[in-house]
Amino acid sequence: MTESNAQKVILVDGSSYLFRAFHAIREMNTSSGFPTNAIRGVISMIRKLQKDYTDSKIVVVFDAKGKTFRNDLYSEYKANRPPMPDDLRVQIQPIHDIIKAMGLPLLVINGVEADDVIGTLSKKFKNIREVKIFSGDKDFAQLVDKKTSIINPINLDIVDQKAVKKKFGVEPKNIIDYLALVGDKSDNIPGVPGVGNKTASRLINQYGNVEKIIKQKDLIAGKVGEAIKSNLNQLILSKTLATIKLDVDISIELKDLIKFESNKKDLIKILKELELKTLLKNESENGEKNLEKEVGKKEILTSYNIVTDKKKFLNILEKVKKGKLISFDLETTSLDYINAKIVGISFALNPKNAYYIPIMHEDQTKYKQLPEKLVLEKLKPILENSQIKKLGHNLKYDRNVLCNYKISLEGIDHDSMLLSYVYDSTAIRHGLDS
């Protein structure tokens, strides 16, 4: 994103991130069964924002628990939504804790929604800096102006004034009128029955806004006119429900955002407890202090290699064949070995050098991948050779997955998960990070 270097205020709709991450990322759990897929997704997206907008100030906003003023106005507001899944609910607090440890301002305000907090902040900061709202929620279109735009966190599409007009057929200032007329199924805002997108934009462009439409309701002929006359109170209520508040009591100024500092010790501790290896690794790759040094451990120089070249792959296999012991692990699509597909294979010949062979990653734009058939065909004799001893973590799972590919894992010598259990059978977790 070419614009990322200029100083901006980045407002993150954390609640939108939360649901998108939970539904987009396959089930992930710690060794004790605690779900972590939403945690990983949300934090990964926020980390990317920090990387893309290094000189900007980022504020993350989440919905608070309980009802808001909109529920008091209309008891059916969002009543059509199913309750939040328990395995998502338990991930919210760890996400909050990690964001705070990252040194980012986190706002959760009772009685209002995250939309209202973001709306208030955008109004407060847009006269000082350009504001970018990261969310997939269409309601934010009403906040768009010359200094404020929306960015979809999934495809990074930028929604500016022209984009709003093109998509909805009205200017950003009339989005609340548009939503009041058509309603919003996701929020259970009723709107006016029978009024669709095209009719709503036509009425707004002809009359101006909801108030003027009501004032000139007798000029609107046909079923649309009758529907408006029959649902005046509902139309007025719908506009109130769709309007994002811009006056939430928030005592935070731009200068206050500088005061937030990361707490590396807490951050590392939380990530380790949640067994989020990728996020831990990314921390060290961000150019920050080495994580192992941060927790007082001796720094170990290591070499990790992604193998995507056939010649290099075959050369490494020759070394493996000569070895007496290899460390081995599978990356898969599921914790259920019956349905799991192999996406990558890693192994090491000594404690300081490891190799990873991707074979079925969905995103193949980052690097090419060797054919699955070739890799498994060449590895099969090694994995089935009982003279080459195998060391791993939860190798029973890996063995079962390999059986689906008609490969019999032989020569299992050490399993660190079993060793952990033997050492302390009362421990809650037996993951590698534990």
Domain total for the chain?
A: 2
User: Is the confidence at residue 356, as pLDDT, over 80?
Assistant: yes
Please identify which residue in the block is written with the tokens 């019956």: 338
What's the rounded mean pLDDT across residues 105-126? 95
Q: Please report, for the domain that includes residue 20, its CATH number.
A: 3.40.50.1010
Q: Are 39 and 276 in contact (CB under 8 A)?
A: yes
The model's pTM is: 0.65
Query: Is the domain of 162 the same as that of 14?
Result: yes
Query: Is the domain of 148 the same as that of 41?
Result: yes
User: Is the confidence at residue 213, as pLDDT, over 90?
Assistant: yes
Query: Is the domain of 236 the same as that of 345?
Result: no
The DSSP output letter for 82 is P
Written as six digits, the tokens of 10 are: 């980045």
**Strands 342-350, 325-332: pairing kind:** antiparallel
Query: Is the domain of 232 the same as that of 370?
Result: no
Backbone φ, ψ for residue 315 (5° rounding): -65, -40
Query: Is the domain of 203 the same as that of 67?
Result: yes
Rounded CA separation 149/132 (Å)? 5
Residues 6+ apart with CB under 8 A from 143: 118, 119, 122, 133, 150, 172, 244
Domain closes at, from 225, 242, 259: 242
Type of residue found at 252: I
Give 283-291 contacts, CB < 8 A, sequence gap 24+: 286/47, 286/51, 288/264, 289/264
Residue 368 lies in a domain: yes
Beta-bridged to residue 131, according to DSSP, are: 9, 148
What is the pLDDT, as a whole number, of residue 23? 86
Residue 252 lies in a domain: no
Query: Is the domain of 91 the same as that of 217?
Result: yes
What's the rounded mean pLDDT across residues 208-236? 94
pLDDT of 147-201, one tens digit each?
A: 999 999 888 889 999 999 999 999 999 999 999 999 999 899 999 999 999 999 9
Residue 259 lies in a domain: no
Beta-bridged to residue 356, according to DSSP, are: 306, 346
Query: Is the domain of 341 the same as that of 192?
Result: no
Query: Is the domain of 69 the same as that of 183?
Result: yes
- Cα separation values, 394 from 107, 268, 308, 330, Å: 40, 24, 26, 10
Query: Is the domain of 195 the same as that of 339?
Result: no
User: Is the confidence at residue 72, as pLDDT, over 80?
Assistant: yes
Query: Is the domain of 234 the same as that of 333?
Result: no
Q: Please report, for the domain that includes residue 414, its CATH number.
A: 3.30.420.10
Which letter, b or e, does each residue of 381-409 get, where b requires 16 or more Cβ atoms within 10 Å of its Cβ?
ebbeeeebbbbbbbbebbbebbeeeebeb
Q: Cα 380 to chain center, whole Å?
A: 36
Residue 253 lies in a domain: no
Residue 363 lies in a domain: yes
**Strands 158-159, 148-151: pairing kind:** antiparallel
Length of the chain: 434
Q: What percent of the chain has pLDDT over 90?
A: 54
What is the pLDDT, as a whole number, of residue 337? 81
Rounded CA separation 50/254 (Å)? 17
Q: Which position has the higher pLDDT, 230 or 256?
A: 230
Domain closes at, from 208, 242, 276: 242
Question: What domain range is 419 assigned to?
Answer: 303-423
Query: Is the domain of 14 the same as that of 121?
Result: yes
Residue 251 lies in a domain: no
Query: Is the domain of 238 the same as that of 307?
Result: no
Residues 6+ apart with CB under 8 A from 81: 186, 188
Could you tell me where the DSSP H helices lie in 368-410? 372-383, 395-403
Q: Are 274 and 39 in contact (CB under 8 A)?
A: yes
Rounded CA separation 242/175 (Å)? 9
Rounded CA separation 384/399 (Å)? 11
**Residue 287 pLDDT grade (very low, low, confident, very high; cuts 50, 70, 90):** very low
What is the pLDDT, as a whole number, of residue 229? 94
Residue 173 lies in a domain: yes
Rounded CA separation 100/142 (Å)? 29
Domain closes at, from 222, 242, 262: 242
Q: Are 29 and 72 in contact (CB under 8 A)?
A: no
| Three-state DSSP class for residue 423 | helix
Residue 144 lies in a domain: yes
